[in-house]
């Protein structure tokens, strides 16, 4: 097999999806390796997960730069210096700069905790998503892994999985059920993309 696809995972919080990717990538047969973790928050617990797995990490915040262009250059340089092929957003709450979306087109994934195209878009994150699913009386929910473009939760869908919405569900209960499904789906979706890139590198 060609070398493994090198992945940067972007986080802003707890990083349970990051952990599921790290755990899957520990399998020598898995076609991708988690080579870098980028956080938009200094206090994100996911940074501890990176450290525990000896993965380099970096806190990258727009507010630490005088101009947006400098932030973007620092991000691009960081990705290049770690020879990153693919970016996985995992609870990253910022919009990815257009320059990075352009350079990594079809090579940036996001996981969203509902069945897109429903229950997505700007402001639809965290518990709000599950509250909206319950308010709409949807009978099923589940995570979506999609490609990232310039619009929140908009790019092509790569994979989805479904969980039932149960009688008596609260947003918290539904969130737990969906999150469990996320931890299975994201490693599968990344594997699919990595294998596609390895077999058709110029696509």
* 87 lies in the binding site for ligand GRF (CB under 6 A): no
Interaction mask 103-122, ligand GRF, x per CB under 6 A: --------xxx---------
Q: Smallest distance, Å, CB 82 to ligand GRF? A: 21
Provide the strand spans (E) within the chain.
Answer: 5-11, 32-39, 57-59, 86-89, 108-112, 140-141, 144-147, 157-160, 163-164
* 85 lies in the binding site for ligand GRF (CB under 6 A): no
The residues in 37-66 that bind ligand GRF, with binding defined as CB under 6 A, are none
CB nearer ligand GRF, residue 47 or residue 179: 179
* 182 lies in the binding site for ligand GRF (CB under 6 A): yes
Query: What is the widest separation between alpha-carbon atoms in the chain?
Result: 51
- Window contacting ligand GRF (CB under 6 A); options: 2-10, 15-23, 100-108, 116-124: 15-23
Half-sphere exposure of 29 (CA within 13 A, CB side): 1
Minimal CA–CA distance to 10: which of 106, 105, 75?
A: 75
Omega cis (within 30) before 35 = no
Q: Smallest distance, Å, CB 139 to ligand GRF? A: 20
CB nearer ligand GRF, residue 80 or residue 94: 94
Q: Smallest distance, Å, CB 87 to ligand GRF? A: 14
CB distance 88 to 186 below 8 Å = yes
- The catalytically annotated residue of 82, 106, 112, 146 is 112
Cα(54)–Cα(135) distance, integer angstroms? 42
> How many CB atoms within 10 Å of residue 173?
14
Specify whether 112 is catalytic.
yes
CB nearer ligand GRF, residue 35 or residue 179: 179
Minimal CA–CA distance to 128: which of 178, 181, 186, 172?
A: 172
Q: Which of 86, 179, 185, 194 binds ligand GRF (CB under 6 A)?
A: 179
* 130 lies in the binding site for ligand GRF (CB under 6 A): no
Q: Which residues are catalytic?
A: 112
């Amino acid at each position: 097999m060609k070398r493994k696809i090198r992945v940067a995972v972007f986080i802003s919080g707890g990083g349970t999806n990051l952990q599921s990717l790290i755990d899957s990538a520990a399998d020598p047969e898995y076609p991708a390796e988690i080579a870098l973790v980028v956080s938009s928050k200094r206090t994100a617990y996911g940074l501890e997960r990176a450290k525990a797995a000896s993965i380099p990490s970096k806190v990258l915040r727009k507010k630490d730069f005088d101009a947006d262009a400098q932030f973007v250059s620092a991000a691009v340089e960081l990705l290049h210096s770690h020879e990153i092929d693919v970016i996985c957003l995992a609870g990253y709450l910022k919009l990815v700069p257009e320059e990075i979306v352009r350079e990594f087109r079809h090579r940036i994934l996001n996981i969203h905790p509902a069945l897109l195209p429903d229950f997505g878009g700007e402001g639809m994150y965290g518990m709000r998503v599950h509250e909206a699913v319950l308010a709409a009386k949807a009978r099923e929910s589940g995570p979506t892994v999609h490609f990232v473009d310039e619009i929140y939760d908009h790019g092509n869908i790569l994979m989805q999985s479904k969980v039932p919405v149960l009688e008596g569900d609260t947003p918290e209960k539904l969130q737990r059920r969906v999150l469990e499904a996320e931890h299975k789906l994201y490693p599968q979706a990344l594997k699919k993309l990595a294998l596609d890139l390895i077999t058709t590198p110029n696509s």
